[in-house]
Amino acid sequence: MITQEKWFNKKFAFDIKREKFAEIVERLRGTPARVEDRIKNLSDAKLKATFNNEWSIQENVGHLLDLEPLWAGRLDDLLSGNLTEMRPADLSNTQTHEAKHNDGNIKDLLAEFRKVRFDFVQRLERLGDDQIETSLLHPRLQKQMRVIDLAYFTAEHDDHHMVMITGIINRLDLEN
């Protein structure tokens, strides 16, 4: 089984050239479809299965949805023009732990994720080159993060959870 680096251990350089912005936005646009495609043939029991007290597939999807307000809020912070630091994340993921995503319906989670992500992508697409370069201090990393870096960071977070979902699917396959 493939292991992956823990999210909070990842390092980011934030040196992406603005010409990469459209590609990053396309990654963001595609995440809901990638998630849906990855889990479309899984039973409800498999979507809600947990291992070692970690999140289920459905909880990972719920977590992606839970973080959309953070990404949108950080974009607001970056574009506000009057802050020095962007809002912090809840590093304990309280919202996801308390949301009881396994009690809900995966179709509802996916539909809401698709909707809010579409809104975020549309906002990004309306930005000019000067706005893409706007930056604030990221509170945990203690580095300046530009709008383009926020988009990249979000896409990397998406991929991190896609790998987690694939890992759960692989564990489930090994059990059968």
Q: What is the pLDDT of residue 2?
A: 61
H or E segment to which residue 109 belongs: helix 106-125
Alpha-helical regions (H) of 126-146: 129-132
H or E segment at 137?
strand 135-138
Would you state the structure tokens that stand for residue 17, as one six-digit string?
């050239």
DSSP codes, 47-82: HH--STT---HHHHHHHHHHHHHHHHHHHHHHHHSS
Quote the tokens at residue 71. 């990404």
Helix/strand/coil percent split, the chain, to 5: 65, 5, 30
- Report yes or no: 85 and 137 within 8 Å, Cβ to Cβ: yes
CA 116 to chain centre: 12
Per the structure, the count of domains in the chain is 1
CB distance 120 to 72 below 8 Å: yes
Domain containing 24 — which CATH number? 1.20.120.450
In a domain? residue 144: yes
pLDDT of residue 140: 94
Residue 16, token pair as written in the block? 């992406």
Whether residue 115 is contained in a domain is answered as yes
Domain that holds residue 157: 16-171
**For every one of its 176 residues, what pLDDT tens digit does the chain have, with 9 covering 90 and above?**
567 788 878 889 999 999 999 999 999 999 999 999 999 999 999 999 998 889 999 999 999 999 999 999 999 999 999 999 999 999 999 999 999 999 999 999 999 999 999 999 999 999 999 999 999 999 999 999 999 999 999 999 999 999 999 999 999 988 76
Is residue 10 situated within a structural domain?
Answer: no
Look at residue 167 and tell me if it is in a domain: yes
Looking at the domain assignment, is residue 6 inside a domain?
no
Look at residue 155 in the predicted model and tell me its pLDDT. 98
Q: Is residue 162 part of a domain?
A: yes
26 in any annotated domain: yes
- Angle among Cα 59, 60, 65 to the nearest 5 degrees reads 90
